[in-house]
Structure 1
Amino acid sequence: MDTAMQTNFNNLESEDKNQQYEAFMNIIEATKKEVDWAYEVWDELLAGLTSTDNHKRSRYAQFLANLAISDPEKRMLTDFSAVWEVTKDKRTVTARHSLQAIWRIALAGEEQKEMVVNQLVERFETCEGGKNYTLVRFDIIQDLRNLYDEIKEQKVKEIALGLIEKEEDPKYQKKYAKVWKNA
């Protein structure tokens, strides 16, 4: 890892919120493509998923989701459950930020894609009545759209549209369907 990226990780702990945010954005941007330093931070990020600091839990889940494409050892297949747990965080914003990033794990390969899509479908089908379940469902539909836009796989679109059809409330069915307009 170069010194600039190391500085970004160090700045996540800065007292200056602007410096923290800039560091976060730099790491997110860098991890949108493969990097050769993923395993230098992997274990620390994984441990941070259970931190008492909700910002750290959220950030680290997002970083790991992005780093899945830089994981030739396929550690994510084993570590996914820890990242997935953050999508159910007691803090709504932490849970949502993590859930909104989880689709990126599916870009790492077929096994990862199948695992992520299966979890998203299962969560959509079982979250009704839970805290903020309509937001959770919206994020899942958006995740599937993001994945579709990236890989253009018809099966992903069919899965998402099938989930939208299962929504019984016309208001939310319409809202979820808007995500797929022009797809």
Structure 2
Amino acid sequence: MDAVMKRNFENLHSENKEEQYEAYQNIIEAIEQEVDWAYVVWDDLVKKLEHKNNHERSRAAQFLCGLAAKSDTDKRILNDFGAVWEVTYDEKFVTARHTLQSIWKIGLGGEQQREVVKEFFANRFKECTNEKNYTLIRFDIIQGLRYLYDETKDNEIKELALRLIDTEEDEKYKKKYAKIWKGIA
């Protein structure tokens, strides 16, 4: 890891909120490509998934999702997926939602990872109706499947999304979810 990237990770804990945000943005941008430092930070990020500070949990989950997409050649995410997924149930809904909105990226890491993401998304979509804000959770799942489809062109993803949408009983939300797939379905 070069000095600039090391500094970005340090600046996540800066007193200056602008420095924190800039560091966060720089890391997010960096992990859009393959990086050679993924495993330098991996274990620390996994530990931070249970940090007392929700910002730490959120960033750790988002960074792991991004690293799993392009830089996880050892497929470590398959062992750590459960810990990342747990953050989608975080007590702070914004933390849970940021994680849920990022988790689709794990599916870019390979076929095994894609299958795990599809399975967990499908189960959550079916089981989340007793959760607060379940319509937002369902929206994020359908949107995540769309992003994953756009990147992979895997028709099984499209078919899964359309089946899930079809199970929605409320016409208002069924239309809202279907709109995400407009032009594809």
Shorter chain as normaliser: what TM range? Answer: over 0.9
**Distance in 2 separating the partners of 1:33 and 1:112:** 18
Corresponding position of 1:67 = 67
Which residues in structure 2 correspond to 1:12-161 (within 5 Å)?
A: 12-68=12-68, 69-161=70-162
Instruction: Name the CA distance, whole Å, in 1 between partners of 2:104 and 2:32.
Output: 12
Q: Distance in 2 between matches of 1:181 and 1:8?
A: 39
Which digits, 9 at most, give the CA deviation of each residue in 1:85-119, with x for residues without a partner? 00110101000000000000000011000001100
Letter in 2 for 1:13: H
Which amino acid in 2 is paired with 1:54?
Answer: N
| TM-score, normalised by the number of residues in structure 2 | 0.97
- Alignment RMSD: 0.7
Matched, 1:8 2:11: no
The 1-side partners of 2:151 and 2:72 are apart by 19
Offset of 1:129 from its aligned partner? 2.0
Tell me what 1:168 maps to: 169
Q: Which whole-Å CA distance do the structure 2 matches of 1:8 and 1:109 have between them?
A: 28
**TM-score, normalised with respect to structure 1:** 0.98
Give me the whole-angstrom Cα distance separating, in 1, the residues matched to 2:17 and 2:174. Answer: 38
Q: Choose 64-73 or 134-143, whichever is displaced more.
A: 64-73
Alignment partner of 2:131: what SS?
A: coil
Residue ranges of structure 2 left out of the alignment (5+ in a row): none
CA–CA distance in structure 2, aligned partners of residues 35 and 113 of structure 1 = 20
Structure 1: 4+ residue segments shifted above 6 A: none
CA distance in 2, matches of 1:29, 1:178: 28
Consecutive unaligned residues of structure 1, counting only runs of 5 or more, are none
Structure 1 letter corresponding to 2:19? Q
Q: Per the alignment, in what secondary structure is the counterpart of residue 36 of structure 1?
A: coil
Pairs aligned (count): 183
* CA distance in structure 1 between the aligned counterparts of 2:141 and 2:7, rounded to whole angstroms: 33
User: For the residues of structure 1 that align with 2:19 and 2:179, how far apart are their CA atoms?
Assistant: 36
SS at match of 2:121: helix
Code of the residue aligned with 2:8 in structure 1: it is N
Deviation at 1:130?
1.1
CA deviation string 1:133-176 (max 9, x = no partner):
11000000000000011111111111101100000000100110
Q: Distance in 2 between matches of 1:29 and 1:127?
A: 31
